[in-house]
Structure 1
Amino acid sequence: MTSKNLRGFSAGIIISTGILAGVYYMNSSNNDPELNDETVEQYLSEKGELAISEDEYTSLKAAKSTPAAAEKKSEPVVKEEEKVTEMNLTITQGMSTGEVCDLLQQGKIIKDSKEFLKYLRSHNLEGLVRAETHQVNSKMTFDEIAKEITSS
C-alpha cells in the first residue's frame, strides 16, 4: 500500500467517524418512557409488589426489632424433631472429593456439597479421603464426617 492510498484510507475513516458522531449527537429521539407516579404504580402492580412510605417502613422495622412485641403476636413455635438420616457411604478408588460430597448431599447427610468441599479444602483434607465404606448420619458435624471419611 502506498502512502497516498494510506492517507486516503485514513481520511475516509476520519470523515465517516465524524458523520456517525454527528448523527448520534444530533438525534433527539428519546425512547425512554417518562417516570411518573402512574408508571411506578403500574410496574409495582405487574410485579406484585407494594410501595410504602418511609414512616411505615420505620414503624415496621421498629416493631420487628422489639422481641417482646414479636413474642406477643406470634404463637409459640413447636420445633419439629429433626429426622436423623443414616447412610453407608461407599467410596470407591478413583472417586473425586466432589463426587463424595455430592453423594453425601444426595443421601441427605449434608445440605450443601459445595460447603463441605470448601471445608475439606480449607482443612487440607481433600486428598486424605479413604476408599472404603463409612457409616455417617445427618446429626454429624462437618468435622465428624471429615474424620470418618479420612480415617483408615
Structure 2
Amino acid sequence: MNRRNTRAFAFGVLFSVCIIGIFYFRIAGTKVAEMNMDRAKNFLEDNGYVVLSKDKFAQIEKTLSTETNNVEKQQKPVTDPPKSEESVTAYQLEIVSGMVSRDIAEILAKEKIIDEADRFEIYLEENGYSKKIQLGSFHLTAKMSYKDIAKTITKS
C-alpha cells in the first residue's frame, strides 16, 4: 500500500465513525430513556432488590453487630468433669441467624475448642460445610476433630 491508499482508508474509517456517532447520539439517544434516581430505585425494587441509604445500612449493620456481641456474651463455656488427669474443654455453641463460618471459627478458637480459626474456616469452605451450617445449639468438645465439629454444626 502506498501513502495515497493509506490516507483514503483512514478517511473512510473516520467517515464511518462519524456516521455511527451521529446515529448513536442523535437518533438512538432520543429512544433511550433518561435514568434518574427514582426510576433506578423503582427498577431495582421491581426486580426484587432492597434499596437502602448508607445511613440506614450502617444502622442495620450496627444493630446486627450488637446482637451478635450480645449472643457471644450469653454463650458460656461448659467444662466436663475430668475423666482423667486432664480435663476436656466443652462448649455449648449457639448459632443464630446472620452468623457465618468466620464468626463460628473465631468463637471456637476463643473458647479453645479448635487451635486456629483460619484453618477451621478454610476446612469448612474447602469441604462445602460452610453453606450447610444450621441454626441451633450444639455441644462441642476440644477432643473433636474438624470433621466431627463440621458434621455436628451442619447436622449431616
TM-score (structure 1 length as normaliser) = 0.45
**Normalization by structure 2: what TM-score?**
0.44
State which structure, 1 or 2, has the greater radius of gyration over its C-alpha atoms: 1
